[in-house]
Amino acid sequence: MVYCIEYDATVEFYWAPFLVESNSDDPTMHSIRDRIIMPESIEKHGENWKGVDFLIFNTYIWWMNTFNMKVLRGSFAEGSTEYDEVDRPVAYDRVLRTWAEWVDENIDATKTKVFFSSSSPLHIKSEDWDNPNGIKCAKETMPILNRTAPFDVGTDWRLFVIATNITSSMKTPVFFVNITKLSEYRKDAHTSVHTIRQGKMLTPEQQADPENFADCIHWCLPGLPDTWNEFLYARIASQPWEA
């Protein structure tokens, strides 16, 4: 949580990578190999989202580790451990419908503005931008340029469509922040080997091994994430202010 004195504003990052309850909800101990979710359980997190001026939601990257999602039978509170494996888009749809229902039932749109950010893409296969000799996003210094034909960097557009359809059908107005396609061009904007592991900067030996250590998930600042924020600022500033 950060308090900005000049603006009398508080900015808080809330860790819930799947929006609903999961076994990865601990903000410091979430590196769990078998990630399991409860698609219809959101109240535990939702209690922390009430009464704020702006809510900005996002869930995507953590869905991309496997083709299927593990859905718990029962609840974590009861000690349940058995699960079913469900196709990724089916599970994603269930989660976003749970989230949408919670927003519609708990958010007063006259007091809280709701945003949902679209998929943040990965750049882990250099062949996707015609660089077969490259290694992931390492040493990429320019965006993807001069492309007249569509390209594919691995974004699961099925999840994008689900998020678009659900947010547009809700009773509560939700501004869909579409960052996906513009971000797909920015293969150069990742932390790559200039990153950290377990809280420490990579060693020279690790930096020399981008195949195993390049970080093509997280983004550098200043740069592309600033553009995402500009979308938010523009939308917030364009709204009429209440007395």
Listed by start position, the domains of the chain span 2-189+224-238
Is-cis flag, bond preceding 89, omega within 30? no
How many Å apart are CA 130 and CA 110, to the nearest integer? 48
Residue-level pLDDT at 167: 98
Residue-level pLDDT at 212: 96
Could you give phi then psi for residue 224, rounded to 5 degrees?
-55, -45
Q: Of the candidates 178, 179, 191, 181, which has an alpha carbon nearest to the alpha carbon of residue 217?
A: 191
Mean pLDDT per 10-residue interval, the chain, length 243 residues: 91 96 91 92 97 96 95 95 97 98 97 96 95 96 87 96 98 97 96 91 96 95 93 88 53
Residue-level pLDDT at 32: 85
Residue 228, beta-bridge partner list: none
Residue-level pLDDT at 147: 77
Residue-level pLDDT at 239: 77
Residue-level pLDDT at 243: 44
Residue-level pLDDT at 199: 83
Residue-level pLDDT at 242: 56
Residue-level pLDDT at 241: 58
